[in-house]
Structure 1
Amino acid sequence: MELSELPECPVCLQPYDGEYTIPRVLTCGHTACESCLSNLPQKFPQAIRCPACTVVVKLPPQGPSLLPKNIDLLRLITASPLQNPPKPVDKRSNDLHVSFLPRLWSSDFYSIWKDYVLPEHTVETEKVSAFSVGSLLCGGDSVLKVALVVRVMDCLSGMGEEEREELSLVLRFYKKQNDRICRVLGLCGDFEDGFLYLVSERGKNSSSLDKLGDFKEADLFSFALIAMEVCETVSVLHKEGLIAGCIGFSCFQSDEFGHFHLDLTEVLKMGRTVRKVVLDMVSSSKKRISDEDIEALLTELSKRDVFVSPEVLFEVLRKEGYDTECSGLRYSVGYGSDVWLIGCILFRLLIGEQFGVQFVDYLHHVILKASEDNGLDCSGICMSLLEKESTLLSTKFGSEFATLPLILSKSLDIDPQKRPLATDIWKCIRELVSKSQFDTMVALDGTRCEKNGGQCLVVGELCRLPKERMETLEKDDQQGAESNGLGDCDHDDDAHGQSKLVDGLAEGNIKSKDLQGHLDCVTGLAVGGGFLLSSSFDKSVKVWSLQDYSHVHTFKGHEHKITAIVCVDEEKPFCITSDSGGGIFFWSITVPLGQEPSKKWYEQKDWRFSGIHAMAVSENGYLYTGSGDKSIKVWSLQDGTLSCTMTGHKSVVSTLTLSDGILYSGGWDGTIRLWSLGDHSLLTVLGENTPGSMTPVLALGADQHILVAAHENGSIKVWRDDIFWKSIQIHNNSIFAIDMDGQWLFTGSWDKTVNVQELVGDDFEMDARHVGSIPCHSTITSLLFWEGKLFVGFADRMIKVYYYGK
């Protein structure tokens, strides 16, 4: 007989030849070559997973060479092997899981932003400066209390790309120790007012520049140090590609040593103040903005000690939709825009409150001249500002420091290209406190920035104020800009932050329905034959419709409290229930439903016996029961005979679950034992050397390569590919119920809460995301997730079904 294609190893895809690729038969009946079987990973002693069916099978102690050869395959091999045999078709399952909640953002998006989210109740409002960046939509009447990180991720995903990019630029300073920029702590959600805040560190005893008085002759050294630090903060900002665009005294905060740092959240709030002044002073119906309007705006802002360069204000107006083409002040926003701010700050420190009057006069002349001649050199007009206080300045500087007034005057040139760099101003000021021969020893760190380029915060989307929300802002915006507490920060509904969730997670779209009928604690839930079935301590099994959740039927017959229930969906589906007296009952769930069990039997009792606590059914026709006598019994589904008894636990076997050819058993001894479904031998024991106390295991959940154990102390332990990954405290008390489906993990506890976790990751990293919690009225005793619906059984006899929908 001639083959159309040769038999080949399912691992290496090489044809069997009896010499190099020897076919060896595993106990499950499948065949693989001896070489591949030797190289397969052995996570359990003398056991491997079959590469064909993934069932765990035993290996001889000497290795796969002692397994029998597949003689029939060797006989079929012809002398002329086929060339390039086709590779087998990938038959991986394409089954789609129905999610309890829609996936709102990708794993990559979550991994980028998750570290910026601060845990709840960790921010002391008196120690931070906060800036609202979006709205955290409330859950409305939803029964699901959505986790903070989920609401933050939704807010961020609803932002525009430009807005998120600006936020990420500011977050570059996240927990970064910098000599001149206040440390950005991250993103903080406030559930009381429903806003997401960007928060930065503020010293307990910090003060701003506006607390300083006019400098006298004796304070020359102090002025120089402060002025240099102002220049340094701007230079550091420019090195990170950021342009402040506007600035004020409150943006500078001092530490316990008296050094001043730039607070980026205050800069953003000041940028929002600029936008509000623009919208307050300029009529929305006005189409064209004159130079006089810009002068008026700059004058109003300077009265508030808010400094913004003309070109930045010009760009803000353009962003707000005003026609500014007639203005003679059209220049590009760049790093030179912040040099204008340095000049305003230093002049204000030197001259004091009189600077405001003189600055308004300067603005009038320079804007008037700029309208007539864009190429105007404004240094002469700016010097006239200094001449009005010439006596004071000569007293402070003296003739040898004449270059300082000159370079400061250039910083207020109407053309940004003619302004000096921040580093040049720094070097000039340093001459007040050091000799020029030390210039080579001390220099401002960093390369010189080009005058154009960079991201300007004020003209960006973060500082944007939606006009329809103006009436809700504080009337005194200056006071709001200087506020420290979260509750006093500017409140705005970002246009993007108001975007609705993809499918309404935070809109209140997790609903519930009550199922009533049991007279005692609900102990188990299962789906089979197109019905929902529930067991109870009231010794009955109730059948419910999955269409309208109405009560359909009740099975009665147990003489003891029912402790567990499982369903088998075959051609003729049935369910199995067990009780505290050792009874095992089979019930047909084929319509019409009967009154009597189709068959039943009882476990043998002894003095240690305390009934059956858990059950599981395998596809190979066996029923497994975990009992109070510390054993696991294996029963044939065909005739109910006892096939074998598996021992090893040192206390009650409280939970059983099946996955990928392995039976997992958990006990009150705190361990989890793995058993082969092929020969029912022990593979390994988990939990004996796991960090943490050996608390009883009350429930197990397994899905593909993930195993989760729920413990009496409210914690879960997670294994990935049978290797311990993490222990997480997710409840305040015992976890009685657990269920898994794909990435979704549900846990129910004595603390009357259902927690929802999402387990995501790849071969290299895994993460458990807290999605939210469902506060309940009673202790949760059973859970079942089925086709996007969560069924919950309670100790007070109630069953609730939670589902996503409007």
Structure 2
Amino acid sequence: MAEEAEAAECPVCLQPFDGESTIPRVLGCGHSTCHDCLVSLPKPPFIKNTIRCPGCTQLVFYPPQGPSALPKNIDLIRLSKPFLSIKPSKSSSSSTTHDFVPNLWSHEFYLHWKHRILPQLSIETSDQTSSFVLHQNHKSKVNVSLFKLAFFSDNDNDENAAAFFKFSYISKVMWLLFKLGNDDSLSELDSIFNLNHPLVSTAYGLWCDHRHNLYLVCEYKARDTSLLNVVVSQQEDLSTFGIIGMELCETVMKLHDYGLVCGCCSLSCFCIDRFGHIVIGLNQVYMVGERLQNMTAQAVSFAHDNSQSLESDFTNALFEIHAFPSPELLVEFVQKQGIHFEFDKSTCTAGYSSDVWSIACILIWFLVGKSFADETYAFLSSFIHEYINGNTCDCENLFVGWLDKVSGFLDNRLGSDHVSIKELLCKCLCHDPGTRPPVIDVWKYMRGLIIKPKFDIIAITEEKSTNTHKCHCLLLGDLLWSSKKTNKVDDRSSMMNDSTHENLVVESDVIEGLRKTSLACTELKGHLDCISGLAVGGGFLFSSSFDKTVEVWSLQGFNHVHTLKGHEHKVMAVVFVDSKPPLCISADNGGDIFIWGITLPFEEKPFRKLNEEKDWRYSGIHALAVSSSGYFYTGSGDKSIKAWSMHDYSLSCTMTGHNSVVSALVVCNEVLYSGSWDGTIRLWCLSDHSPLALLGEEAPGASVLSLSAYTHTLVAAYENGSIKVWYKDKPLNSISAHSSSIFSICMEGQWIFSGGWNKTILVQKLSGDDESQVEITEIGSIAGNSVVTALHYWQGRLFVGQADRIIKVYSFGG
């Protein structure tokens, strides 16, 4: 028994058509939608008098009078059981598609980090000094320090490097960020950027130099405001000592509030701002950590050599950076070098109390002087040497002996009047981190040295203990300790303010594959003049040229198959028609159109010749396009577009409206787009060849030289080097992509390729699903040796026609 047909209904409100409350109106595409829904449907704001059909999404004419000017669908109203409207389905290709550029990172990753990337020209460097300046705007600039996070190892001696893919600045930074590896590194960076307090140096962003080095850019204070200058001046006043101690504690506590721990407080990490407050520099903390890395790595490598020489080098290095690493931090540094011993591991973990140890050392140096630093650095050098050699008992003895000497230093300096200061500082230096007082207790005591409790108007309440929640030690984090670290020192760079350091070498397999191995280039030679057009179909590549020929190349081995001869003028355009039998259409600037049969063996002559009428002002045909509706179109110098029937090859109609040469044609979603030298783009309905809309009327600007379209996106290339993009009928910001004319542009999926006078192929990516967040990112470029005149993308291959008569084919794995 046959199924009963369902009543036809509106594709928007799903109500059955009845001719009274739900009146079907016929759109230009043939689909029907009810009157009320057409009124409420959104209209493209930038393409007047158009609407997208809810059934097939085709852009069709919408009368300014409203839907009442559209005809009623009488058949749907009259028939109680109308015919079902069959929606055409798009057949998915069974062949595997390949991306020309791999999707190295997600759009969410890009959106998260793009605002952290500083412009390439925002950092001012100097070869004579180690200072750097960040230009925030035209009037404001600040001193900054640079800490190298990663670098891309590039082979500068490769002679063919210029011929292959190079990442843009933004993509280079995103790629290096992505290759930093795990979520811990990026989470640590996030924490640094989220720090927002005047006592912590501001992290401005990420910057990449011309050597492919990626840096964290942070605020930098001049050396003359360093805390080191205050400590070595040997102040005698205990109130000054209390102020320094309180300021140090407040600065470190702000880091602890964000769950961050320095792990080693060095005098070089702190400076004094213009209000007299102590500020910590995050980049300086990382620089100290890298020096400690190098020192412990060297100590591990030469553990069994001359111990006195090694300890002396370690002591001198500590003096250079004025650092006081806690014993537990040094133990973890050594363990990260691959050496592990049972050394009370449960209590020897760097955390909040490690900063307390370092603060106490700085304060004792302030009280006692250089003799304390000499003794402490000697102790740390012996401690690390004994630990590396497995003498854990000797390590404990060394610690006890050192603490006794420190106690004697304090007795001589403070006497019996300030026993409580000595007890506090010695408690901060306990071997067991768990027995050290929290930073807040040290702060309270230092405040008491300045303001007596009875005069302190600020009520000091019991704040939450920072020792109870999880912390992250910057010097033990993945930004310093990564599996990709190398022990080689980059001597070419002075970005560390004269301190040597390790570099995070980013694995370069993907990029090196793009540039040298996987991205292969094949050159096709055979034309005698400039390439003017490219087309692919039927297993062949077709190339037109000013030499009046069309060359046919096999897509299997890219060998030359045949030459199509017959044109008496420059061949300006070529297209492939997937029909039975398959056809190739070529057109020249004399107005001649040749239609070739693509069957083996190839015929020597075209089976049909057409010709456009011309006068003395006529400059022939400049563009070709083919539609699935049985027409091909020519864009001409007489400012018109002509539609030719594929059935009898007769001229069906002439579309006029442009004020200059029609230079580009493209068909997409049942719409014909035409670009002209008059700077405008016109949209035409394929069903009746009526005009739909006009783009660029408000500001025509430069001439349109090339068009490309993919699903809901239209891209246009202009004579002034700019690219304009329309996504779902909405224009995006114009892009100044090239410095000169763009002769060809093509789009495949989310990738846009453009090339022209500057001999460079620019690769851009359209990303984002939400219309309000769609944006274009420059991914990179392919440098060439000649003007790019034609581009075509097909199944993972990019075909490039050049003015020097050569066709280049870029593909993977060639």
- The AA in structure 2 aligned to 1:685 is L
Judge conservation of contact 1:662–1:675 (CA < 8 Å) in 2: yes
CA deviation string 1:92-146 (max 9, x = no partner): 6645753112222222222222333333343334224333333424376551112
For 1:236 and 1:416, how far apart are their aligned partners in 2?
20
Write out aligned runs for 1:492-571 (5 A). 492-494=503-505, 497-498=506-507, 500-501=509-510, 504-505=513-514, 508-571=517-580
For residues 18 and 532 of structure 2, the distance between their equivalents in structure 1, rounded to whole angstroms, comes to: 56
Pairing 1:250–2:268 present: yes
Q: Secondary structure at the match of 1:619?
A: coil
Residue 158 of structure 1 aligns with an amino acid whose one-letter code is: K
Of the candidates 629, 635, 641, which is equivalent to residue 644 of structure 2?
A: 635
Structure 2 residue 602 is the aligned partner of structure 1 residue 602: no
* Aligned-partner residue type, residue 26 of structure 1: L
Q: Describe the superposition over 1:365-416 as per-residue Cα deviations: whole angstroms up to 9, x where unpaired.
A: 9x99x9899999x99985862543545446xxx95x7654443333222233
Change in CA separation of 1:774 and 1:793 when aligned onto 2, cut-off 3 Å = same
Specify the code of the residue in structure 2 equivalent to 1:34.
Answer: H
Q: Is structure 2 residue 613 aligned with structure 1 residue 622?
A: no
Indicate if the aligned counterparts of 2:8 and 2:16 stay in contact, CA closer than 8 A.
Answer: yes
Distance 1:638 1:245, change over 3 A: same
Once the two structures are superposed, residues 339-377 of structure 1 have per-residue CA deviations (whole angstroms, 9 ceiling, x without a partner) of: 111111222233221112443688799x99x9899999x
Aligned residue in 2 for 1:55: 58
Aligned to 2:178: 157
Mapped partners of 1:339, 1:190: distance in 2: 37
- CA shift digits 1:167-189 (9 cap, x unpaired): 43234343966312222233333
Taking structure 1 as the reference length, what is the TM-score of the superposition? 0.86
CA drift of 1:758 comes to 1.0
Residue in structure 2 matching 1:412, options 429, 445, 448: 429
SS in 1 for 2:596: strand
The code of the aligned residue for 1:778 comes to: S
Secondary structure class of the residue paired with 1:273: helix
Aligned to 2:727: 720
Query: In 2, Cα distance between the equivalents of 1:252 and 1:774?
Result: 46
Q: Which amino acid aligns with 2:285?
A: V
Cα gap change, 1:103 to 1:343, in 2 (>3 Å): same
In structure 2, the partner of 1:289 is none
CA–CA distance in 2 between the matches of 1:123 and 1:666? 41
- The yes-or-no answer on 1:777 pairing with 2:785 is yes
Q: How does 1:450-465 map to 2 (within 5 A)?
A: 450-451=467-468, 453-464=470-481
The structure-2 alpha-carbon separation of the partners of 1:195 and 1:90, relative to structure 1 and needing over 3 Å to count, comes to farther
Contact in 2 for aligned 1:137/1:507 (Cα 8 Å): no
Which residue of structure 1 aligns with residue 799 of structure 2?
791
Q: Structure 1 residue 129 and structure 2 residue 145: aligned?
A: yes
Q: Give the drift of 1:457.
A: 1.8
Identity over aligned residues, as a percent? 44
Contact 2:188 2:477 (C-alpha < 8 Å) held by counterparts? no
Residues 1:208 and 2:226 aligned together: yes
Match of 2:368 among 338, 351, 363: 351
> Counterpart of 1:672?
681
Q: Do the aligned partners of residues 527 and 373 (structure 1) sit closer, same or farther apart at CA in structure 2, a change above 3 Å counting?
A: closer
Counterpart of 1:739 in structure 2 is 746
**SS of 1:717's equivalent?**
strand
Deviates further, 572-581 or 774-783: 572-581
CA shift in 2, pair 1:612/1:267, >3 Å: same
* TM-score, normalising length: structure 2: 0.85
Aligned length: 776
Q: Which residue of 2 aligns with 1:104?
A: 104
Deviation at 1:253, TM superposition (A): 4.1
- 1:762-785 deviation line (CA, Å, top 9, x unaligned): 123112121211111111111111
Structure 1's unaligned 5+ residue stretches are 287-291
The within-5 A match list for 1:630-669 is 630-669=639-678
Structure-2 residue corresponding to 1:760 = 767
Alpha-carbon shift at residue 755 of structure 1 (Å): 0.6
Describe the SS at the equivalent of 1:313: helix
Verify the 8 A CA contact 2:228 2:267 in the aligned structure 1: yes
Distance 1:660 1:464, change over 3 A: same
SS class of match (2:523): strand
Change (3 A) 1:74 1:637: same
Of residues 302, 306, 313 in structure 1, which corresponds to 2:330? 313
Alignment partners' CA distance in 1, 2:768 and 2:428: 53
Cα 1:508–1:350 change in 2 (3 A) is farther
Cα separation, 2, equivalents of 1:559 and 1:32: 51
Map residues 417-432 of structure 1 onto 2, 5 A cutoff: 417-432=434-449
How far is 1:502 from its partner? 9.0
CA contact (8 A) 1:567 1:574 kept: yes
Structure 1 residues 467 and 628, CA gap change in structure 2 (3 angstroms): closer
Distance 1:617 1:57 in 2: 19
- Distance in 1 of aligned mates of 2:494 and 2:446: 30
Secondary structure class of the residue paired with 2:502: coil
Looking at structure 1, the residues matched to 682 and 435 of structure 2 have their Cα atoms a distance apart, in angstroms, of: 77
- Summarize the Cα distance change of 1:26–1:303 in structure 2 as closer, same or farther, 3 Å threshold: closer
Matches of 1:772 and 1:612, distance apart in 2: 33
Decide whether the 8 Å contact of 1:582 with 1:611 is kept in 2: yes
Q: Deviations over 1:618-647 (max 9, x none)?
A: 221222222222222222233333333322
Query: For residues 111-122 of structure 1, what are the structure 2 equivalents within 5 Å?
Result: 111-122=111-122
- Higher mean displacement: 723-732 or 181-190: 181-190
2:489 to 458, 465, 473: 473
Give the Å deviation of 1:29.
2.6
Q: Is the 8 A contact 1:703 1:741 kept in 2?
A: yes
Kept after mapping to 2: 8 A contact 1:171/1:184: no
Q: What is the aligned counterpart of 1:484 among 497, 519, 538?
A: 497
Greater mean alpha carbon deviation, residues 432-441 or residues 778-787: 432-441
Which residue of the partner structure matches residue 620 of structure 2? 611
The alpha-carbon distance between structure 1 residues 439 and 638, as it changes in their structure 2 partners (threshold 3 A), is farther
Moved more, 124-133 or 562-571: 124-133
The 8 Å contact of residues 752 and 766 in structure 2, kept in 1 or not, is answered as yes
**1:238 partner amino acid:** H
Please tell me the residue identity of whatever aligns with 1:673.
Answer: R
Following superposition, the deviation at residue 733 of structure 1 comes to: 0.8
* Paired residues of 2:107 and 2:767 also in contact (CA < 8 A): yes
Distance 2:493 2:587 in 1: 66
CA distance in 2, matches of 1:568, 1:8: 37
**TM-fit CA distance, 1:723:** 1.6
Distance in 1, Cα, partners of 2:461 & 2:113: 33
C-alpha RMSD over aligned residues: 4.0
Q: Distance in 2 between matches of 1:4 and 1:229?
A: 83
The 1-side partners of 2:484 and 2:748 are apart by 45
| Stretch deviating more after TM superposition (542-551 or 713-722) | 713-722
Q: Distance in 1 between matches of 2:244 and 2:92?
A: 66
Q: Which amino acid aligns with 1:385?
A: V
Classify 1:285/1:346 alpha carbon distance in 2 versus 1 (closer, same or farther; 3 Å): closer
In structure 2, C-alpha distance between the alignment counterparts of 1:614 and 1:89, rounded to whole Å: 32
Instruction: Determine the structure 2 residue equivalent to 1:185.
Output: 204
Paired with 1:352 and 1:517, the residues of 2 have a C-alpha distance of: 82
1:456–1:92 Cα change, 3 Å: farther
For 1:216 and 1:206, the matched residues in 2 are separated by: 16
